[in-house]
A and B are shown apart, each in its own frame.
Chain A
Amino acid sequence: MKNGKFGEYGGQYVAETVMSSLKELEKAYEHYKNDAAFKAELKDLLDNYAGRPSGLYYAAKMTADLGGAKIYLKREDLNHTGSHKINNVLGQALLAKKMGKARVIAETGAGQHGVASATAAALLGLKCEVFMGKEDTERQALNVFRMEMLGAKVHPVTSGTMTLKDAVNETLREWASRLDDTHYIVGSVVGPHPFPVMVRDFQKIIGEEIKAQMLEAEGKLPDVVIACVGGGSNAIGAFYDFIEDKEVRLIACEAAGHGVDTPKHAATMTNGTVGILHGMKTYFCQDVYGQITPVHSISAGLDYPGIGPEHAYLSDTHRAEYVPVTDDEAVEAFNYLSRTEGIIPAIESAHAIAYARKIAGALGADKTIVINLSGRGDKDVASIARYMGVKIDE
């Protein structure tokens, strides 16, 4: 990490107007991350409010069924608000409060990060406004209502493709117009420095817990850690503590939608090229003139045309593998985990389950795979029903 960059990726490609706020944030974060009182307060919130540590569950039936490596599930789905998003949001909301910001804003795709932000804001007494693509507010109407119940104001975004990337654009615009009292809670390891570093630091607890839990359960490190990747916060959270443990394979599953050979996918590392957007240099799905191309995934959380800059670096340096998983494979895995283990995974996390199913059988019984189960699937039940052509009354 040098000048906010991982190799050539990352940086601060933003309007001059917000540079002073990024500097202010960087300074505050550098201070508080080593501040004992801040760390204690955050730990208390994570342990007693979010429910950490999350469990590491040995999936015996899935292991037996796949007939290869032992499968463990890291249960981020059991966190308060139902996903890993709360880890980051509590950290950033607490930091915002320490910085004297009375208001937080956030972008959201499916609504998980928006709900987590609204939750943390309610808890810490901050005003919260969430920007969400109009198309997503319709697809995820329940989450819009949930955010409103928590006291947040939701702004439907009607620019561009009316999805997550446009919600990010709109949140950036809002931030540039009101910097004094407002902190932008970026939801993933994306955006300008220091966000990718800060969000990763708030999420790395996932991998630290996996390591300790695996040493206790198996007396050794896992052979493989698998996570889904959109922007990449749950993946980097699971991977980070293992980066120096070169013997541990790190696999990130990106959304291949209808397939990487079709235009309907969000497989940034498989099909993207290096570009600059949302404050960072990294891989994006784009055309030859640099116009960002519409992406598709059944999972709103992975439906993003970019990827965190640290992932771009981990891919280039071959430390982590980035593999595509299609909508069909994810839905199959969604149903598989529900029936095999009685756990309904988030459709995002189902991408990681799907890839584990592909490789577990070929690995020996002495090998172990940890799948980061980043979220629970309650939010997806209606859209899976639609996908399967089942009519239900929501």
Chain B
Amino acid sequence: MNRIAEAFKGKKALIAFLMGGDPDICTTEKLIIAMAEAGVDIFEIGIPFSDPAADGPVIQAASVRALEKGCTADDLLNMVQRVREKISTPIVFLTYANSIFAYGKERFMERCRDCGVDGVVVPDIPHEERGELSDACEKFGITQIALVAPTSEERVEKIARNAEGFIYCVSTLGVTGIRDEIRTNITATISKVRNVSQIPCAVGFGISTPEQARDMASVSDGAIIGSAIVKIIGEYGAESVEPVRQYISRVRSEMDVIQK
């Protein structure tokens, strides 16, 4: 069993996003170690991009900060390689298609394998364009994680049938960001997935409080938290390791209330 599947075993998975290189590579590295200790099950590391059209203001700002520090895909690959000596938590890159394409698809996936990256989530590669990356992913054993949205409707089953790793269930319309309330009917989406597959489903977009994470995880297999973490990092910069660790601990204990 691969590391991603393992992360969903016997518990609700806490999946944490942070922008690679925000505020700097060294802090990202420390954050990952601290967050793994505090109970993160899967990491999504963002590769900063000049034009993050699927992201809201919080993650856009993190991308700008990381790019201003000169952070590149190579820096992040090397960072993952160093982190791998200390933790075995699965790590996936959350990246726009162009970062992979410009690097060279095969070269990118080969480097991912060599550095210990488990998978990729590419928000601008929908099911129809999946073939863009699937050969390179398969060749180097990199899991290509698919997304479903509230608008996916009859597309859900088609997407789920080919899905690997886990399914990223987008909770709401729009872009990434913090929301007071999540109104979408996640259960309906997940039951569509269940018609064709037993693959784990994790819910993301809009989750910020430990209670929201618990509620979303209770109707799925895990919760994905992004902007809420990035916001703390934006606020505390190089001093964000402790506040983020504390935040993750609170989310973890709230999520552990649910019995799988």
Q: How far is the CA of A333 from the CA of B257 in the complex (A)?
A: 72
Q: Show the binding face of A for B, using Cβ within 8 Å.
A: 3, 11-21, 159-160, 165-166, 168-169, 172-173, 176-179, 273-279, 281, 284, 286-292
B153 touches A13 (CB 8 A): no
A172 neighbours in B (Cβ, 8 Å): 53
A290 touches B151 (CB 8 A): no
B129 touches A165 (CB 8 A): no
Query: In the complex, which of the residues B53, B67, B153 contacts A169, with contact meaning CB atoms closer than 8 Å?
Result: B53
Q: How far is the CA of A266 from the CA of B155 in the complex (A)?
A: 38
Query: In the complex, which of the residues A20, A177, A276, A281 contacts B153, with contact meaning CB atoms closer than 8 Å?
Result: A20
B173 touches A178 (CB 8 A): yes
B51 touches A15 (CB 8 A): no
B155 touches A176 (CB 8 A): no
A177 neighbours in B (Cβ, 8 Å): 173-175
Residue pairs across A and B with Cβ atoms less than 8 A apart, 22 shown, are A15-B54, A15-B170, A16-B149, A16-B155, A17-B151, A17-B174, A19-B128, A19-B149, A19-B155, A20-B149, A20-B152, A21-B151, A173-B175, A176-B173, A179-B173, A276-B96, A276-B124, A287-B102, A289-B103, A290-B99, A290-B102, A291-B49
A176 touches B54 (CB 8 A): yes
A17 neighbours in B (Cβ, 8 Å): 149-151, 170, 173-174
Interface presence of B234 (CB below 8 A): no
Q: Which residue of B lies closest to A172 (CB)?
A: B53
Identify which of B53, B128, B175 gathers the most chain A CB atoms within 10 Å of its CB.
B53
Give the size of the chain B interface in residues (CB under 8 angstroms): 42
Query: In the complex, which of the residues A273, A281, A284, A289 contacts B73, with contact meaning CB atoms closer than 8 Å?
Result: A289
Within 8 A of A (CB), among B100-134: 100-103, 123-129, 132
A19 touches B152 (CB 8 A): yes
Q: Which residue of B lies closest to A288 (CB)?
A: B102
B175 neighbours in A (Cβ, 8 Å): 173, 176-177
A3 neighbours in B (Cβ, 8 Å): 128
Q: How far is the CA of A273 from the CA of B103 in the complex (A)?
A: 12
A275 touches B98 (CB 8 A): yes
Give me the 4 closest cross-chain CB pairs, A-B, nearest first. A290-B102, A177-B174, A17-B149, A290-B98
- A13 with B173: in contact, given A20-B152, A275-B102, A276-B101 (CB under 8 Å)? no
A277 neighbours in B (Cβ, 8 Å): 51, 98
Q: Which residue of B lies closest to A165 (CB)?
A: B51
Q: How far is the CB of B161 from chain A (nearest CB, A)?
A: 15
Interface presence of B248 (CB below 8 A): no
Q: How far is the CA of A13 from the CA of B123 in the complex (A)?
A: 9
Interface presence of B97 (CB below 8 A): yes
B132 neighbours in A (Cβ, 8 Å): 11, 13
B147 touches A173 (CB 8 A): no
Query: In the complex, which of the residues B52, B60, B101 contacts A290, with contact meaning CB atoms closer than 8 Å?
Result: B101
Interface presence of B193 (CB below 8 A): no
Q: How far is the CA of A274 from the CA of B149 in the complex (A)?
A: 28
Q: Which residue of A lies closest to B170 (CB)?
A: A17
Q: How far is the CA of A20 from the CA of B127 in the complex (A)?
A: 12
Q: How far is the CA of A3 from the CA of B126 in the complex (A)?
A: 13
Interface presence of B27 (CB below 8 A): no
Q: Which residue of A lies closest to B148 (CB)?
A: A16
Q: How far is the CA of A21 from the CA of B173 in the complex (A)?
A: 12
Residue interface bits B53-89, CB-to-A below 8 A is 1, else 0: 1101100100000010000110000000000000000
Within 8 A of A (CB), among B169-186: 170, 173-175
A176 neighbours in B (Cβ, 8 Å): 54, 173-175
Q: How far is the CB of A331 from chain B (nearest CB, A)?
A: 29
Q: How far is the CA of A278 from the CA of B97 in the complex (A)?
A: 11
Q: How far is the CA of A21 from the CA of B174 in the complex (A)?
A: 13
Q: How far is the CA of A275 from the CA of B132 in the complex (A)?
A: 12
